[in-house]
Structure 1
Amino acid sequence: MSDAAAAGSRAVLVEGPGRYRLLNRPEPPEPGPGEVRVAVHAAGVCASDREIWDGTRAEGYVRYPVVPGHEWSGTVEATGPGVDPALTGRGTVGEGFRSCQSCDHCRAGRTTLCSAPYQETGFTRPGAFADHLVLPARLLHPLPDGADLTAAALLEPAAVVAAAVLAAAPVPGERIAVVGAGTLGLLAVQLLAACSPAELVTVDPRERPRRLAAGFGATRTVTPGELSGLPAGHDLVVETAGARSSAAEACALARRGGRIVLAGIPAPGADGLDPLLLTVRQLSLATVFGAPSAAWSFAVRAFATGLLDPGPLITHRLPLTGFETAVALVGSGDPAVGKVLLQP
């Protein structure tokens, strides 16, 4: 038994909105058939985790009490019956959606559209704000030896971005815009820059994210107030902000016949899209919620080859006991706060 296992296993249990306690179990959980136990290295805190804490996550997409944490990296510590024991000791990340694997959508590879009731690590199943995480081995995406496990904790949002890029199908030489330079937007800039666009514009009101976007390959960064000064028409616009007006702004940036991918999750009351604008300008619109296995493979491959470097997005690292502080940072609106991690 490892030192971590011998020391027991802690977990942040959110019992309901605004209420949590730190569990301290004497023994780590044991993996069952087809499962693995992962020693968590780092777990990202995102706006969805803030929704769990605030009680604002949409009905059906959280089940209290819950251990949050859907963005994570770690090392396989134990394997259950039927799992290759050679996985033990491997650095890994893993998918969150628990798809049924048997419905028509799953058989077609569209696992985020699974017809079974919604199940996801960190929302309806125990997540990674813990020393250990148990999950099906089929969800793992092992990492190369020596991979930076701290940066790898951002591969879940990177997989969402990869799903958006796959849906967008960028072509070298296109004019591309990214609306929003939070975690998703900055990861999108990195992947889209690798596609050799003629122009890659990033839109965000905050100075620090715009500066990072420029370092990641954006050819121009602007604030929303400067949109009217942009040259007309982009071939592709990827929206990641989820702000009230960002989807409408994305449509306005696209040329006639252009393509738009919405990856941000808007709050209730967001501005609607003009169907006349979509129709007359013949815009193609795609949306992303979560990431299927193909997108995860894409993101992990881009990370392994150096095309994707999430590390510079991280600004804060806190222990499990700092959970409440971490959630407050994520919801603070402080422009100096980037990605916040919990590290057991």
Structure 2
Amino acid sequence: MTGGPTDRAVLVERPGAHRLVTRPRPEPGPGEVLVRVAAAGICLSDREVYEGRRAPGYVRYPVVPGHEWSGTVEAVGPGVDPGLAGRPCVAEGFRSCGTCERCRYGETSLCTAGYAETGFTEPGAFADRLLVPARLLHLLPDGSDLRAAALLEPAAVVAAAVRAGGPRPGERIAVVGAGTLGLLATRWLAAHSPAELAVIDPRAARAARALDFGASAALAPGEAAPGAFDLVVETAGAPGTAASSCLLARRGGRVVLTGMFAEGATGIDPVHLSVSQLELRSVFGASSAAWADAVRAFATGLLDPAPLVTHEFPLERFAEALALVGGDDPTVGKVLLRP
């Protein structure tokens, strides 16, 4: 390919089929920036995209995946502050319209103009570079650890869950699930001085990791007492964890569902919900405000995702990297692609 600079990208052409392509380097249009990718995380949603299990309407093939990423602004388009060039950054994934009722209310992850998200319907970060609207950027301090910053997307989801749950000092808190979201939530909730912070996961080795992130106890599901917690933050998205999380909350307690559930998940008992007078919230992605919370926590050192990263691969080894995600190996944490 000739006629100008080129970039590489992992293109998922259809479920189960991908290739590493060389394409003309994107050029930023009005209101856009071109970001050189430093690191991009792989999560279960990316595996769902590859395997064709993502819900219809929430992916558009062919697609370059990659919604968890960090990088450096390399070029700006017309109408964008040229001072952004050279700045380390992350960016919100949802391409919210900014003008609908939900956006004007600050709930940008619930934009009613139609679903559009980097890495699912728009080209993502499993590439050397990507284009994003400048209005979605969140700048990082110079010298930031961009390897760790690639986890600010799941950190923003956790920030949304913490906003929804409203933890108070001295409360008894449970986190269900000890994956990336669960461990980030544990770190964040530990900063709210809980009297008890239990992490519940059937995988003992993964649950034990939470002790290094501020948990006071690592429990198997059967070891957690029903009705023992003021706040329960569910992060696993397993078939039964929505219902079981509600059973862990005390009467009048609060439950936040953060995991992404698939068809066939166990329903929540409406009798228990009403009799116990539970406050139940769910989280889908992260609003601009939650992103700002996550970036601030990262910049001030309150939240350091770096210990979660266990594996790094070049773009050429995408298939090998993807195969590690979602398995039972307790030594596998967050897997990154490093263009």
TM-score by length of 2: 0.97
Q: Which residue of 299, 302, 308 maps to 1:307? A: 302
Q: Mapping of 1:267-286 within 5 angstroms?
A: 267-286=262-281
CA contact (8 A) 2:227 2:251 kept: no
Structure 1 residue ranges, 4+ long, deviating more than 4 angstroms after superposition = none
CA contact (8 A) 1:256 1:283 kept: yes
* Correspondence 1:1-40 to 2 at 5 A: 8-25=6-23, 27-40=24-37
- Which residue is 1:196 aligned to? 193
Instruction: Assess if the C-alpha contact under 8 Å between 1:202 and 1:222 holds in 2.
Output: yes
Q: How far 1:225 sits from its partner (Å)?
A: 2.8
Task: Tell me which residue corresponds to 1:108.
Answer: 105
SS of residue paired to 2:10: strand
Question: Match of 1:245?
Answer: 240
Q: Secondary structure of 2:41's partner?
A: strand
| Secondary structure of the structure 1 residue equivalent to 2:48 | helix
What is the alpha-carbon distance in structure 2 between the residues aligned to residue 29 and residue 113 of structure 1? 28
Instruction: State the 1:334 CA deviation.
Output: 2.2
Which of 127, 132, 153 aligns to 1:130? It is 127
Unaligned runs of 5+ in 1: 1-5
Contact 2:42 2:334 in 1 (8 A): yes
Alignment correspondent of 1:94:
91
Match of 1:290 in 2: 285
Aligned residues: 336
The 5 Å alignment of 1:1-344 reads 8-25=6-23, 27-227=24-224, 230=225, 232-344=227-339
Instruction: Give secondary structure in 2 for the equivalent of 1:266.
Output: coil
Instruction: Measure, in 1, the Cα distance between the counterparts of 2:236 and 2:302.
Output: 22
Shift of 1:231: 7.4
Q: Over aligned residues, Cα RMSD in angstroms?
A: 1.1
1-side partners of 2:182 and 2:191: how far apart? 14
- Which secondary structure does the structure 2 equivalent of 1:50 belong to? helix
Do 1:237 and 1:254's aligned partners in 2 also have CA atoms closer than 8 Å?
A: yes
**1:124-170 C-alpha deviation (Å, 9 max, x unpaired):** 00000000010100010000111100000000000000000001111
**SS of alignment partner, residue 296 of structure 2:** helix
Q: CA deviation at 1:275?
A: 0.3
Matched AA of 2:100: C
Residue 28 of structure 1 deviates from its aligned partner by 1.6
Structure 1 residues 173-225: Cα deviation after superposition (integer angstroms, max 9, x where no partner): 11100000100000000110001111101001223322321011101110113
Q: Distance in 2 between matches of 1:151 and 1:331?
A: 20
Deviation at 1:7, TM superposition (A): 6.0
Where structure 2 has 5 or more consecutive residues not aligned to the other structure, the ranges are none
Counterpart CA distance in 1 for 2:202 and 2:109 is 31
Matched residues in 1 for 2:226 and 2:242: separation? 19
| Match in the other structure for 1:3 | none
Q: Quick one: which amino acid aligns to residue 219 of structure 2?
A: V
| Pair 1:285–1:232, CA change in 2 (3 A) | closer
The one-letter amino acid paired with 1:322 is R
Q: Is the 8 A contact 1:238 1:261 kept in 2?
A: yes
**CA, structure 1 residues 7+332, in 2 after alignment: closer, same or farther (shift >3 Å)?**
farther
User: 1:24 corresponds to which letter in structure 2?
Assistant: T
SS of the residue aligned with 2:132? strand
Q: SS of the counterpart of 1:76?
A: strand
User: Can you list the C-alpha shifts for 1:86-123, whole angstroms capped at 9, x where unaligned?
Assistant: 11111100000011111110110111111111100000
Q: Report if the CA contact (8 A) 1:233-1:256 is conserved.
A: no
CA distance in structure 1 between the partners assigned to 2:5 and 2:302 by the alignment: 38
1:224-270 Cα offsets, whole Å, 9 max, x none, are 1322xx37421100000001111111111100000000000112211
CA distance in 2, matches of 1:79, 1:289: 30
Instruction: Answer whether contact 1:186 1:209 (CA < 8 A) is retained.
Output: no
- Report deviation, 1:331: 3.4
